[in-house]
Amino acid sequence: MDIQQSRVPNVREAGRLGGLTVFRTRGKAFFTEIGKLGQAAMRQKHPNMASVWGRRGGRPKKNSLDDMGK
């Protein structure tokens, strides 16, 4: 007799599932827009640092939206 236990996802899994759900409901354009808003906020908080970070290789790249599916 198999007893299935419902497993609570860890924080990483929950974040990934939540992000995928938002992606499915709101689409790629939503993520593009919030990315632009985040970039503008970062540039306002840290002026002239984007070029410095770029010379250092930037931040590690995350999965692209194309890797998540349509």
Is residue 28 within 8 A of residue 65, CB to CB? The reply is yes
- Residue-wise pLDDT tens digits, 9-61: 899 999 999 999 999 999 999 999 999 999 899 889 988 888 887 887 776 56
- Residue-wise pLDDT tens digits, 7-19: 888 999 999 999 9
CA–CA separation, 38 vs 35, rounded Å?
Answer: 5
Burial class (CB in 10 A: 0-12, 13-18, 19+), 2: exposed
Question: What are the backbone dihedrals phi and psi of residue 60, each rounded to the nearest 5 degrees, phi first?
Answer: -60, 140
